[in-house]
Amino acid sequence: MIPFCLIYGLAGFLLSESIIACQFIVPDRVKRFSKGLNRLLLFIPVLAIPVFAVLFLFVLKGRFYERLCHATLLLALWLCATRSYWFLISFFKSCRILPLSILGVIGFTAMAVYLTPLDRYAETIHSFFGPVSILAGAILLLVFYIAAFLCRPRT
């Protein structure tokens, strides 16, 4: 239950970063890098679907639903960590965004690393929530896209 609460607490930080970032303009020195990283972040899930499909169909046998839930949650955690890193790079001189960005990068990365082994994920998240555990990743992906599309900083 604690990792689940931490994940959604960090999701709140991501939304806070996005809302605060709407007020700022991306500096010219990082504009090209930030645009490229932002586009890449938006299309990674589209690229991940065929990769996961091949892995699940041909390589990883057994425990399909558990692996699907695990992959969805980890994809969302890494996307949110990278989005927080994007905020850190894009608005490094902003004292309002910097602490949230640092906390987001550390928190999302720590949760992703902690939950990367499938057995640990099964013990902490999947065994507690069962079939509903896919919602953890789906809701976090939804929060990521809300933060990405509704709260875009000015470039």
φ, ψ (nearest 5 deg) of residue 114:
-65, -40
Q: Is residue 57 part of a domain?
A: yes
Show the domain range for 33. Answer: 2-149
Q: Is residue 131 part of a domain?
A: yes
Q: Is residue 154 part of a domain?
A: no
pLDDT, position 153: 58
Q: Is residue 141 part of a domain?
A: yes
Residue count of the chain, please give it. Answer: 155
Q: Is residue 132 part of a domain?
A: yes
Nearest to 44 by CA among 78, 92, 10, 21: 78
State the total domains in the chain. 1
Nearest to 65 by CA among 131, 115, 4: 131
Chunked into runs of 10 residues, the chain (155 residues) has average pLDDT values of 70 73 75 80 86 81 83 90 86 79 88 90 82 83 83 60
Read off the pLDDT of residues 68-87 as tens digits, 9 standing for 90 and up: 888 888 999 999 898 888 88
Q: Is residue 23 part of a domain?
A: yes
Extract the tokens encoding 80. Answer: 């949110």
pLDDT, position 3: 67
Report helix, strand or coil for 96. Answer: coil
